[in-house]
Amino acid sequence: VSVDGKPVRLQLCDTAGQDEFDKLRPLCYTNADIFLLCFSVVSPSSFQNVSEKWVPEIRCHCPKAPIILVGTQSDLREDVKVLIELDKCKEKPVSEEAAKLCAEEIKAASYIECSALTQKNLKEVFDAAIVAGIQYSDTQQQPKKSKCRTPDKMKNLSKSWWKKYCCFV
């Protein structure tokens, strides 16, 4: 990716969420400039883990790194089979409003819903990660002289290599 005429490389680290990886997972956090904290919009328990498990863990190891809250599987929110299965457990999909409120509460840089199946908003997730990661990296390297980069100033965002550290949880 080219941002303001400079190549940027993105390194992704998709971490395992199982308890048995609790001691290994933080090893991926060391150089992270941004966290994409993902949950399924059709899994209320994964949404509950955002504030109960993932945010405390991230803040323990990287207290200032930005978080982008990402609601995945947005294509399934209205799926009849999924709704029937959720109803059996007296559950409903996570509403966009609830997720946005959570994003505010955890002080996330943003909230974005996406679908890998339909590709809806996938590019937006990575664009937001790149912008937030660059802004965070700039503040870490030059606390008083950081440049403010916005999506409007970004050029050729999908045509080059990425060089930011991004951690998926």
- The answer to whether the beta carbons of residues 1 and 156 sit under 8 Å apart is yes
Nearest to 165 by CA among 15, 6, 32: 32
Burial class (CB in 10 A: 0-12, 13-18, 19+), 121: middle
Each residue's pLDDT expressed in tens, for the chain with a length of 169 residues: 778 888 888 888 888 777 777 778 888 888 889 999 999 999 999 999 999 999 999 999 999 999 999 999 999 999 999 999 999 999 999 999 999 999 999 999 999 999 999 999 999 999 999 999 888 888 877 655 444 455 554 444 444 334 444 555 5
Domains of the chain by start residue, with CATH: 2-168 (3.40.50.300)
Q: Which residue has the tokens 């209205």?
A: 78
The rounded Cα 157 to chain-centroid distance in angstroms is: 18
What is the distance between the alpha carbons of residues 149 and 131, in angstroms, rounded to a whole number? 7
